[in-house]
Structure 1
Amino acid sequence: MRQIVLDTETTGLNPRSGDRIIEIGCVELIDRRLTGNNFHHYINPERDSEEGALAVHGLTTEFLSDKPKFAEIVNEFRDYISGADVIIHNAPFDVGFLDAELKRVDMPNFKEQVGEVIDTLVQAKEMHPGKRNSLDALCDRYGVSNAHRALHGALLDAELLAEVYLAMTRGQNSLSMDLGGQDVDSDGVMLEVVAIADVLLQQASEDELAEHELVMKSLDKEVRGQCLWRAALAN
């Protein structure tokens, strides 16, 4: 199963008034595992950002002036997303801007080129009604470190959203007999209480251990120190 986690930054809030995309960031999941096959481009919008938007993303007109225009990266982008399920936080915003850009280059709408579009904001509101469900709030709720997020950036936000999405949808695969008991977590979600059955343990291969170490190093880098997993092992 191939999924793409996508985010954009824009010059403003409304593509109908001429606001444009200035950054696209995507990360790839295959069978719920990050592959490292990312897509990232800054884009010259051929216009200035609104003051409020500039305060959010910090991408100045000068910085973007020598970047490719959307028409120059659209084929690469289309090939990257083709047929994949796409995960977006507040999907109507990003899809609206992508549709406007695709229309300018006479290409089909975004949803015609991908599989399912999954909106994590809708999911979060269903799972945590009445609570804040911004990306920052979800990072706090699911223990995803966003300490390095001083400004919004499409690739950084896509990476954070991928971690949040995996945490939100992790689920529980029962290898046991249901005893019919229930408990409630801190968000009021009902949890099953189950008895653990016999589980066959298989030792990780050298390749799997090497891949695990790469993930640990990535987590260490994100928190600028030692991640909780390493700290727990040290104790």
Structure 2
Amino acid sequence: MTNRQIILDTETTGLRVEDGNRILEIAAVEMMDRKLSPPERHLHRYINPERDSEEGALNVHGLTTDFLADKPRFGDIADEFLRFVAGAELIIHNAPFDVAFLNHELGRLGLGRITDHVSGVIDTLAMAKEQFPGKRNSLDALCDRFEIDRSARTLHGALIDCELLAEVYLAMTRGQDSLLIDFLGDAGGTSDSAAWARRAARKPLRVVVPDAADVAAHEAYLDELDKAVKGSCLWRGYEPKTAETAPA
């Protein structure tokens, strides 16, 4: 079954929806089975928020009232947006912020809440805090941690932030299972059995068995560890194999 996810980000006129702030930019980048769709399958819209941005927010996104004056209002793009995200799983960094603004905009139009239209919401900030407790987990910090190039991000923009977040999300979730999925996905559409057959045909890994000199050096090292812990170190529970005791 195809797993459709949407990486989503918004820019707003201010930080608090309670103060009447509105969405002025929205971007939604499609990802199918952990692979980004081509740009024509993404949604990116500037929106006339029908009010000025707060100074702090304007310094972050740089989208002026004059620039946004001739852009569609949220009500003009709401149906298009809901059709695009329908049934998908949303991936958002600091999801409560964006969800609150989306719920506000949809509520004004009598269209319910965003969770009425999607299968679920993943908060990558919450994920990052769990994986890296006590560390900075902003989008910039995560890009640096995973060595993702963010040189094109001079101001906050919904589309560039979505593209960066997609890479961050893939990096944070690339465990053994996903590596196997990526491997099979790169097999050009071949069946799982064919892919496994190729793996089985590979030559076995070479096992290097320590000789007597290696074992003696290892024992000397363990003796030093024993002195350091004033007892028997953990590695004493493992019996190394020598060339003489290894199976033929």
The TM-score range, normalised by the shorter chain, is 0.7 to 0.9
Gaps of 5+ in 1: 176-197, 203-235
Match of 2:199 in 1: 199
Match of 1:157 in 2: 161
CA distance in 2 between counterparts of 1:88 and 1:201 reads 42
Higher helix share: 2
**Pairwise mapping of residues 1-235 of structure 1 onto structure 2 (< 5 A)?**
1-36=3-38, 37-173=41-177, 199=199
CA distance in 2 between counterparts of 1:75 and 1:201 reads 52
CA distance in 2 between counterparts of 1:172 and 1:141 reads 20
Q: How many residues align?
A: 180
How much identity, in percent, do the aligned residues show? 61
Tell me the TM-score normalized by structure 2.
0.70
Per-residue CA distance 1:60-90 (angstroms, 9 max, x = gap): 0000000000000000000000010000000
Shift of 1:200: 5.3
Tell me the TM-score normalized by structure 1.
0.74
Gaps of 5+ in 2: 181-197, 203-248
Shift of 1:116: 1.3
CA distance in 1 between counterparts of 2:4 and 2:27 reads 16
CA distance in 2 between counterparts of 1:147 and 1:61 reads 26
RMSD: 1.6
Letter in 1 for 2:116: E
Match of 2:195 in 1: none
Shift of 1:199: 2.1
- Where 1:103 maps in the other structure, the secondary structure is helix
Match of 1:227 in 2: none
- Where 1:40 maps in the other structure, the secondary structure is strand
Structure number, greater radius of gyration: 2
CA distance in 1 between counterparts of 2:140 and 2:55 reads 22
